[in-house]
Amino acid sequence: AQSVAQPEDQVNVAEGNPLTVKCTYSVSGNPYLFWYVQYPNRGLQFLLKYITGDNLVKGSYGFEAEFNKSQTSFHLKKPSALVSDSALYFCAVRDPWVTGGGNKLTFGTGTQLKVEL
Amino acid sequence: EPEVTQTPSHQVTQMGQEVILRCVPISNHLYFYWYRQILGQKVEFLVSFYNNEISEKSEIFDDQFSVERPDGSNFTLKIRSTKLEDSAMYFCASSGGDTSNQPQHFGDGTRLSIL
């Protein structure tokens, strides 16, 4: 079964500093990995994905994520945080080797990012 | 940018009543999904729908739940006889293309409150 772990409930960072939000995954084969952001009273907004190829993927709003197969991780990063980045971040995984073809995403529990002045 | 839209934004229903949550996916998308998020918990997959049939469903999606695409634009989730534990935020999503690596795009959700 596919699963995702986000070990930190909350991450605090000062504006202008780099940020990292951690994610580790478990799947039977090569994963499809996604990051989403959720602002209050809104749906999940797609940030970036890793399917294959370059381990460093770039996404919206200056975010990037690094796929590390040996550590089964897909940490979200940004070189310089903004107060407006404060939101709830979800990592998600899809195991393309699972039969059924339903494209089910399995989400982590979410990490609240708080960027302060 | 095209969006997934959901109505209503908030639904309050008495326990035991039927409720229908409505979604308009992005127009050229082929795959449709429902997820739910109980307050303070993680987002959970309910069901996926492709080519006018359910392609995958979770253990949560029991006989009380059904989905339908009644026309070319709407995608609905029906809960036949609501229970208190059905109270949650329900998200509709859609994805395009003929490969499974396309990102799913989510609506803003319907908050379902069962009294």
Q: What digits encode the pLDDT tens for the residues B33-82?
A: 999 999 888 899 999 998 899 989 999 999 999 999 988 789 999 999 99
Return the residue of A nearest to B111 by Cα. A41
Is any Cβ of chain B less than 8 angstroms from the Cβ of A49?
Answer: yes
Q: Which residues of A touch B44 (CB under 8 A)?
A: 107
- In 3D, which of A95, A84, A114 has the Cα closest to residue A13? A114
Q: Are A44 and B106 in contact (CB under 8 A)?
A: yes
Cα–Cα distance for residue pair B54/A96, rounded to 1 Å: 18
Question: Whole-angstrom Cα distance, residue A92 to residue B88?
Answer: 20
The owner of tokens 């090569």 is A30
Identify the DSSP state of A96. Answer: T
For the CA atoms of chain A, what is the radius of gyration?
Answer: 14
Mark yes or no for CB contact A32/B101 under 8 Å. Answer: yes
pLDDT at A101: 57
Does residue B94 surpass a pLDDT of 60? yes
B109: its two tokens: 């959700």
C-alpha A107/C-alpha A105 separation (Å) is 6
Q: Which of B6, B33, B55 sits opposite A101 (nearest CB)?
A: B55
Q: Do B45 and A105 touch (CB under 8 A)?
A: yes
**Considering only residues 61 to 100 of chain A, which have any Cβ-Cβ distance to chain B shorter than 8 Å?**
90, 92, 94, 96, 100
Q: Looking at the partner chain, which of A49, A51, A104 has a beta carbon nearest the beta carbon of B45?
A: A104
Q: Do B103 and A104 touch (CB under 8 A)?
A: no
- Per-residue pLDDT band for B96 (boundaries 50, 70, 90) equals confident
Residue A92 has pLDDT above 80, yes or no: yes
Secondary structure element (H or E) that encloses residue A92, with its range: strand A87-94
CA distance B100 to B97: 8
